[in-house]
Structure 1
Amino acid sequence: MVNLPAPGRRVVVRYLLPTGQATDALGELLSADAETVVVDGTRGVERIRVTDIVAAKEVPPAPAPRIRRPFAD
C-alpha cells in the first residue's frame, strides 16, 4: 500500500493507465484501502487500483483564484 495522508487532504497520485502510460490524479483524497484509492479532482471522482499506483503524496492547498481586473483604456 502507498503511504497516503488521512482522507480530506489534497493529494497527487501518479498511476498507470491500461496503455502503460502514466497520468496523475490531483484532488481531495476521499478514501483509501488495500485495493482502491479514491480522489475527487478536476476530472471528477477517480477510483484508482493500488496496484496501478506509481507514486503518491500530499500536496499544498490549491492557490486562491486570481481576481480579474478590467483593462484600462
Structure 2
Amino acid sequence: MAQGFMPPHGGYENLLSYQKAQIVYDATVFFCDRYIDRRSRTHDQMVQAARSGKQNIVEASMASGTSKETEIKLTNVA
C-alpha cells in the first residue's frame, strides 16, 4: 500500500498518557459524584478539568496528521 499525502494519525488509545488521563478522569468523576454536590460549581470544574486533559491528548493525536506543531502544543497543554 502506498504512503498517502497525509501521515497516519490517531491511535491515542495506545498512549500511556491517554490511558492515565482516562484513569484520572474516571477517578475524578467517581470522587466528585460521591463527595461533592452535583449542583456545585466545584463539581463541574473538577470534572471539566479532568475531561480537558484527556481531550487534549485526543485532539493532539488527531492533529498530528496535519501539523506537528499543533500536536506538540496540545500534548504539552495536556
Q: Which has the higher helix share?
A: 2
Q: TM-score, normalised by structure 1?
A: 0.23
More strand by share: 1
